[in-house]
Structure 1
Amino acid sequence: MSLPAGAIAVTLPDGAGEILPEEVPVALVYDGVTQAVMMATPADLEDFHLGFALTEGLISDPAEVQGVEVLRQPRGIEVRGWLSAPAGARFIERRRLMAGPVGCGLCGIDSLEQALRPLSRAPAGAAGAGLTPGTAARALDDLRAGQVLKDACRATHAAGFWADGAMVAVREDVGRHNALDKLVGALWRGQVDLAQGAVVMTSRVSVDLVQKAVLAGAACLIAPSAPTALAVEQARAAGLRLIARAGRELAVYG
């Protein structure tokens, strides 16, 4: 049986077989420096490398990342790329100011001020800014239909981009942040305008997902679970349309 990328077959003690998602350490390396090591599904890694750089503010244009290569190591994977000026200079200064190790979620953040940094305004008047809860429900259904890895192993998150009544792209991963970064990388690589549709997630909405969506240029974020209060606060401040669970229904939070 052919398995989707990121899935692996394992044998249980009773001899039965099971399909599980892969999870490996993935080092995201820029200009020879490891910015983060994420536990991730080893698929769409060039998208991951680019999307992470964009949503963490390392770059502002995909052309600023060059020469990306994926290197499999004995105990994980390195994804290496080089930053063009002035992104490279900004990256060096950011690394110099970092006080501690990198972790998951708000990667490379070294102060409380950076964790709640002001966001630029999401694009006003864009197609994604006018989506309704009814439209969001259809988008969530389309995302579920596109989750090939989840169909195989029932244990992954997904992020998709929905525009003009259809799902444009879907990326899956064991981590919800990773799935979003992979999606952003794929869309920016394909020169897709994120303001003209909606980013659709399978997970709850926390503030870091709001920040990543705004930095990627999204106008709308849709999720099937309730958001955190801080996520709502930051989405409203940035003008990001946030549609998520409220009781048993979807509702517009911002």
Structure 2
Amino acid sequence: MKASVSIRATALGPDGAREVTRALPEEVPVAVTCNGTTQAVMMCTPADLEEFAVGFALTEGYATPDQIERVEILEAEAGIEARLWIAEEAAAELGARRRAMLGPVGCGLCGIESLEQALRVLPPVSARTTLTRAEAAGALDALRGHQPLHDLTHAVHAAGLLMPGRGIVLAREDVGRHNALDKLIGAALRAGIDPAAGAVVLTSRVSVEMVQKTVLAGAGLLIAASAPTAQALRLAEAAGLTVAAFARGARVEVFTHSERLQGDQTDVA
């Protein structure tokens, strides 16, 4: 499947109506399976799906890259299957987790487990990578040059990996901001690039899930175009993740662990 399609529309304005053609991003259901069992169905842009599957498996706790034996992408009439074949020990642990979630619905325990999983304790970030203030402030401008699907459709998010002194070395796009980040993480892991050596850059806001995925990937810095939520900052502070936002021009606002940003202090008007 293609990542975008051309669609005709009618543009209405003061001078009347005219026919136009727009390139719009495609969005299809992608079922992620592990050893034949469906784990999740996500709406995705149908590109870089092997990388998405690897990144999603890591950030959702299904399997680490070394536990993934094979990835298959199969198109079906109703959507796409991203089939992961994982090591037996990972499959057994995943199966036990699924069985625990399928307990009696009246006991209330399933809801408690789901809530705990949503705000699960994150491992401490050990990455020591630092950036200059100029690099952090210019991160979104740097990512802008790696968004061909956005340039075509104006309707997708992007996630990039910024390396100190090198700029954006990897970027991935998707209609879903979570999917774009999973694709980026998968791409980095498959290319042998350690996310801990750089900073994750997002065109979106910073939610709890984006903090969780960044920490589990091992990166120590997260730079975003828009604001973080308060809960996302609590998790980032506890895990040791640097969160910066509103990166534009020469300014950036740092919310947690500012020690990873070097240079003059960031002042907020």
The CA deviation at 1:63 is 2.2
In structure 1, the partner of 2:262 is none
Normalised by the length of structure 2, the TM-score is: 0.84
In structure 2, the partner of 1:121 is 124
In structure 2, the partner of 1:251 is 253
| Residue 32 (1) aligns with residue 36 (2) | yes
Q: Which amino acid aligns with 1:253?
A: F
| Residue 214 (1) aligns with residue 211 (2) | no
| Residue 194 (1) aligns with residue 191 (2) | no
Matched position secondary structure for 1:25: strand
Q: Which amino acid aligns with 1:235?
A: A
Q: Which runs of 4+ in 1 moved over 4 A?
A: 246-249
Write the distance in 1 (CA, Å) between the matches of 2:96 and 2:239. 26
| Residue 50 (1) aligns with residue 51 (2) | no
Equivalent positions of 1:67-106 (< 5 A) are 67-99=70-102
| Residue 12 (1) aligns with residue 14 (2) | no
**Partners of 2:224 and 2:247 within 8 A in 1:** no
Cα offsets for 1:96-139 (capped at 9, x unmatched): 12249xxxxxxxx9521111111101114x21xx2244321222
Which region of structure 1 is more displaced relative to structure 2, 8-17 or 134-143?
8-17
**Partners of 2:140 and 2:248 within 8 A in 1:** no
| Residue 156 (1) aligns with residue 153 (2) | no
In structure 2, the partner of 1:104 is none
Where does structure 2 lack aligned partners over 5 or more consecutive residues?
11-17, 104-111, 257-269
Cα offsets for 1:16-40 (capped at 9, x unmatched): 2110000011111111011111111
Taking a change above 3 Å as real, the CA distance of residues 5 and 112 of structure 1, as seen in their structure-2 partners, is same
Where does structure 1 lack aligned partners over 5 or more consecutive residues?
101-108
**Partners of 2:137 and 2:248 within 8 A in 1:** no
**Partners of 1:20 and 1:153 within 8 A in 2:** yes
Matched position secondary structure for 2:214: helix
Q: Which amino acid aligns with 1:77?
A: I
Q: Which amino acid aligns with 2:76?
A: Q
| Residue 22 (1) aligns with residue 26 (2) | yes
- Could you say what the CA RMSD is over the residues aligned between the two structures, in angstroms? 2.1
**Partners of 2:220 and 2:242 within 8 A in 1:** yes
**Partners of 1:122 and 1:219 within 8 A in 2:** yes
The CA deviation at 1:184 is 0.4
Write the distance in 2 (CA, Å) between the matches of 1:46 and 1:174. 16
Q: Which amino acid aligns with 2:30?
A: V
Write the distance in 1 (CA, Å) between the matches of 2:210 and 2:35. 26
In structure 2, the partner of 1:134 is 134
Q: Which amino acid aligns with 1:97?
A: A
Q: Which amino acid aligns with 2:252?
A: L
Normalised by the length of structure 1, the TM-score is: 0.89
Matched position secondary structure for 1:120: coil
Which region of structure 1 is more displaced relative to structure 2, 8-17 or 24-33?
8-17
Higher strand share: 2
**Partners of 1:133 and 1:243 within 8 A in 2:** no
Matched position secondary structure for 1:42: coil
Write the distance in 2 (CA, Å) between the matches of 1:207 and 1:45. 23
Q: Which amino acid aligns with 2:232?
A: A
In structure 2, the partner of 1:105 is none
Write the distance in 1 (CA, Å) between the matches of 2:252 and 2:36. 44
Write the distance in 1 (CA, Å) between the matches of 2:141 and 2:125. 25
Matched position secondary structure for 1:204: coil
